Amino acid sequence: MPPTLASLVHHSALKLTVRAGEDRLDVPVRWAHVSELADPVPYMEGGELLLITALKLDAEDPEAMHRYVKRLADAGVVGLGFAVGVNYDDVPEALVTAARQEGLPLLEVPRRTPFLAISKAVSAAIAADQYRAVTAGFAAQRELTRRTLADGPEGLLAALAAQVDGWAALYDASGAVVATAPEWAGRRAARLTADVQRLRERPAPASSVVGGAQNPEHPENADRVELHSLGTSRRPRSALAVGTAAALGTAERYAVHSAIALLTLTTERSRSLHEAGLRIDAAVLRMLLAGEPDHARTVAGDLYGGLLDAPFRMIVAESPAARNRAAAQTAAGDAAPETGGDPLGALVEVVESAAARAGEAVLVVPEGERLVVLATDGGAAVAACVEHASALEAARPASESLAGGDEESLVVGLSAPSGPIAASAAYKQAQQALSV
């Protein structure tokens, strides 16, 4: 903890005596400042212990002392130290009365205690508090790293929640909750899906603070929640939420920053593995389309579970806007500006998130300006794909539909249920459905 007036009063070397404000000694002291100005308020920032000898004050004038003390209290000064034996043998009663009326702690400083000793005590306590925070931050970083290596992101979330005395949650690219710690935080984390989705619209790294409404019937809504995007790409692939009862302290802030770094590394490593998986997906798809299902199964191994054996749907998706941009770039010698819309990328996130939540295997292969998806017939991934495309189509204004220039437009072709032997026919059927 930072130094408080109480800790200074209990400092054996300072010999301070409390003359007013005995019930407000637990307030933190940001600094000890000496000023003999009649009005030191313009030079105060708040949180100071002001030390005076009343060199330029009429400390025995009740009205003057009331105005003086009131201005100090209004400026955020947390305490007043008055040195006796310099200009006054005792603390003037007018000052004591004014301090009691304003609730400002008043400390009597004996003649043998120099102001420098008080300043050094405050400075040393602040430095010690900062050192403890840094040390605690390094300890938290070691613990978070250990738990990440041992238990993955779930272990990290549990350790982080303990470090901040709150809860933590991890979200996927769609804003769905992947994991929480402790488990009871799942419902709180689920309420933030819309906030996470808004955060993802901002370039990484991005963060925001969500403050709940003060509702006695639902105290859980009063959490202060920090949201942080994870990853280094333009569109973050995941997000971290940290919920606490109050603003984070220095040590807790170190812990959160360490967690962000570790989860970002995990996310980027997962992305590298994901890219390797895409290459396997492409190879398996080529074998299926070439009429070699046995070779495809050999390459896939257990990667797709029973996807290659059960009835599946072939989905071919295309973005007219992406196709138009590609044509414009070719005609202009690749000089056409690139726009920010990425409907195919958004579809990948929707399909993969739905499959992950349902425990389904899915094969996703980008093919230039197209996307090919192989998913279980009647599964969550197919349903999410159709629903996403329908929602985009319904949201398009009629004028943009006719012009075909909407950045978010998407055309999806869906095959009939098929099997590995007829994969090529299913692919052609999905292609033909694009023009319907």
CA-based nearest residue to 268, from 232, 234, 235:
232
pLDDT in tens, the chain (436 residues): 789 999 999 999 999 999 999 999 999 999 999 999 999 999 999 999 999 999 989 999 999 999 999 999 999 999 999 999 999 999 999 999 999 999 999 999 999 999 999 999 999 999 998 888 888 878 888 888 898 888 888 999 999 999 999 999 999 877 889 899 998 999 999 999 889 888 877 877 788 998 754 444 445 556 899 999 887 666 667 899 999 998 888 888 889 999 998 888 777 665 655 666 777 888 888 898 888 888 888 888 877 888 888 799 999 998 865 555 444 444 444 433 333 457 888 888 888 888 888 888 888 888 878 899 999 999 999 999 988 888 887 776 654 544 444 555 788 899 999 988 999 999 999 988 887 6
CA distance 152 to 21: 51
Strand partners, 366: 371
> What whole-number distance in Å separates Cα of residue 164 and Cα of residue 92?
46
Question: What domains are defined for the chain?
Answer: 5-113 (3.40.1390.20), 134-271 (3.30.450.40), 290-434 (3.30.70)
- Angle at Cα 249 formed by Cα 248 and Cα 251, nearest 5°? 115
* CA-angle at 389, arms to 388 and 391, nearest 5°: 65
Q: Quick check: 130 and 138 in contact, CB under 8 A?
A: no
Confidence (pTM): 0.54
